[in-house]
Amino acid sequence: MIVVVRHGETEPNRAGVLLGHADPALTTTGREQAEAVAKALDAPTAPVAVVSSPLRRAVETAEAIASAWKMDVEREERLIEIDYGEWDERAFGDVPAEELRRWRADPAYAPPGGESLTALQARVSPCAADLLERAGDNGVVIAVSHVSPIKAAVAWALAVGPEIAWRLRLDIASITRIARGPDGGPIVRSFNERAAP
């Protein structure tokens, strides 16, 4: 099983702006959320691995989780947040309405200098498949990432297109579980579990 965790709160998250490859640290609340997720995931058997997006907010969250088993956190570049390009750290209201409409209507559309949902799906799908394979039949891999890659992993598990991202709400410091189904393929066991206040 892959236990996919969205990182804790950052100042840009609190401000409600787009946060892609910018690299802020967790807030005090974000660190408390990471600790709450770590407690929720604590189990007597260690996971096969704890992997993380290389961005600081994800790594800090992953380190809180991995500390329970005294494990190191592995960086996985394919788990990095979508690249918003010129829109990074801008409020939705500051993005031209026509551009937002295009972005929502066409999964192949990318913000200027950024990445499309289609491109994101192309990098996350093989990553999710690799992590599920690594977990094996009875193991767990904990993967800490961001809102868009987690939605892409869910789209992969459900065998649907990346445009489903617009119909999914994923909270900060939430947990999503993707397991191997009876036929060996992925199934979504849970989505957007809340472990933190």
| 6-45 pLDDT, tens digit each | 999 999 999 999 999 999 999 999 999 999 999 999 888 8
In whole angstroms, what is the distance from residue 37 CA to residue 32 CA?
9
Nearest to 87 by CA among 59, 68, 118, 112: 112
| 125-170 pLDDT, tens digit each | 999 999 999 999 899 999 999 999 999 999 999 999 999 999 999 9
Strands (E), 7-158: 49-52, 73-75, 141-145
In whole angstroms, what is the distance from residue 80 CA to residue 77 CA?
6
Instruction: Spell out the domains of the chain, with CATH numbers in brackets.
Output: 2-82+116-194 (3.40.50.1240)
What pTM did the predictor assign?
0.96
197 confidence band (pLDDT: 50, 70, 90): low
Q: Are 22 and 88 in contact (CB under 8 A)?
A: yes
**Residue 39 tokens, joined:** 């407690």
Q: Are 96 and 9 in contact (CB under 8 A)?
A: no
The mean-pLDDT minimum among 27-41, 50-64, 70-84, 92-106 falls in: 92-106
92 confidence band (pLDDT: 50, 70, 90): confident
Give the number of other CB atoms < 10 A from CB of residue 197.
Answer: 8
Which residues participate in catalysis according to the annotation?
A: 7, 81
Q: Give the three-state DSSP class for 44.
A: coil
